[in-house]
Structure 1
Amino acid sequence: MPRYSPWEEKGRSLRRWIERYHEPGCPYPKSTFAVTYYPQPRDYSVTHESASLDSTWDTWIYPHDLPTELNKIEIKNRKGPPVGWEGRTGQGVVFLDWIRRSRRSAAPHMSEFTKAAYEMDFPLRSLKYVFVTDISETDTVECIRDEVYKSEGIAYPSSEQEIWDSPSREFDALLGTTMGKAVAAFVLCAWGQGTKRIARIITFHNGEYLQRLNMRFDIEDI
């Protein structure tokens, strides 16, 4: 039995779909969904403004070659069950700051919104990093806090950045969380199978009391 069941099993399947062109059963086809600032989409409102990166982020967790001036983007549906994507983009990086999609909605999945948001300003081939910030989602927190960190003897919250390289049991477990799955699905809907891979996941806390859990996903060519 996997050490981090059921997350590890889910993550292993996602990793194989991402890395292997002919791995069967992948439920995430490449997406053609797109939105624009102007003209505004019929079904969604799209707003954007400039935003600066928090100065407390160090150059290790936020690589120095990435921009500190970002585009803050909000995409929300105009009617129907609630759907919303809030994040920031810059050349080479996208932040998922808040996402919501009602289970009753027939809208595209959040992975497709992530792709659409980045492509409004930058070519998809330039993307290297995906950050998921201020995570409170229960499934992801429980996996990191109660399983991975506990098994590795790591304090939670931690003042250190923890690196989880692929392939490893810990990497697969993190990829199998709700937030990990959202990024894995994004990679698949953006590039398809066997083109890009998630090379590592970094988990870290920030805030005055280390109250905010974040994840960084590093994307590389296969």
Structure 2
Amino acid sequence: MADNYPLWEKIGRRLQKWIENYRASGCPYPISTFTLTPNHRDYIVDRTSVRLDANLLTTLNLSNGNSTYRQVSITLRDEGPPVWWIGRSGPGVIFIDDVFRSKRSDDPYISEFTKAAYKIDFPLDSLRNVFVPNVDEVNTLFAEQTWEPSSSEFNGLLGTGIGKIVTTFVLCAWGQGRKRIARIITFHIDADIHKLYMRFDLEYM
């Protein structure tokens, strides 16, 4: 068990409280008004139609295999503290593949880029699943399993860096007390045990 697990759990409990209770005070994550367009003034937004691998669709339990997905890349148009968002989006699903935001940056947060990236092509309220591939920070702590909100492990996952991105995304997208993270699933694909995936299932309350 990592030394920082108790801290992750504490952070996760606080984030879960803000998500599930619209009356919970002190939430520092308001609904974001940040949006992106293909010809944004400050960011280069590249979007390419892609097809997901059939084995990946089966493993991820995605039923919309015939749908067209988007490979989305967002980078700064001009020089500045680095920030980027790279992922894929499709009907009801978004993949957060590679993200970074410098601590010196004044740009929107990764959670806000996630919201904006999905809204370029799909209505926000249609989103049901958030996937994060190749997770390193929790790979030694969590095996393949479904984690329910009542478990301490669920809160621990919410409190990790990846978990915080997803929880703050929910808050900046819908606000408090509207949509919650119903469960978290950690799993591997095929026999590669070194690549951990996380799936966050979203539901309206």
**Residue 145 of structure 1 pairs with residue 140 of structure 2:** yes
Give the conservation status (yes or no) of the 8 Å contact 1:66–1:91.
no
**Structure-1 residue corresponding to 2:125:** 125
Report the Cα distance in structure 2 between the residues aligned to 1:10 and 1:66, rounded to whole angstroms: 36
Report the Cα distance in structure 2 between the residues aligned to 1:204 and 1:35, rounded to whole angstroms: 32
Identity of aligned residues (%): 50
Residue 4 of structure 1 and its aligned partner are, at CA, apart by 4.1
With structure 1 as the length reference, what TM-score do the two structures score?
0.85
Residue 210 of structure 1 and its aligned partner are, at CA, apart by 2.6
Gaps of 5+ in 1: 155-160
Q: 1:4 to 1:83 in 2, by over 3 A?
A: closer
Report the Cα distance in structure 1 between the residues aligned to 2:66 and 2:59, rounded to whole angstroms: 14
Report the Cα distance in structure 2 between the residues aligned to 1:66 and 1:14, rounded to whole angstroms: 33
Paired amino acid for 2:73: E
Aligned residues: 201
**Residue 47 of structure 1 pairs with residue 46 of structure 2:** yes
Residue 112 of structure 2 aligns to a residue in which SS? helix
The runs of at least 4 aligned residues of structure 1 exceeding 6 Å deviation read: none
Instruction: Map 1:38-187 to 2 at 5 A.
Output: 40-57=39-56, 59=58, 61-65=60-64, 68-78=67-77, 79-136=79-136, 140-141=137-138, 144-146=139-141, 149=142, 154=143, 161-187=144-170
Give the conservation status (yes or no) of the 8 Å contact 1:76–1:85.
yes
Report the Cα distance in structure 1 between the residues aligned to 2:84 and 2:170, rounded to whole angstroms: 19
**Structure-2 residue corresponding to 1:14:** 15
**Residue from 175, 178, 183 that aligns with 1:195:** 178
Report the Cα distance in structure 2 between the residues aligned to 1:133 and 1:106, rounded to whole angstroms: 27
Residue 156 of structure 2 aligns to a residue in which SS? helix
Q: 1:115 to 1:47 in 2, by over 3 A?
A: same
Report the Cα distance in structure 1 between the residues aligned to 2:99 and 2:128, rounded to whole angstroms: 20
Residue 140 of structure 2 aligns to a residue in which SS? helix
Gaps of 5+ in 2: none
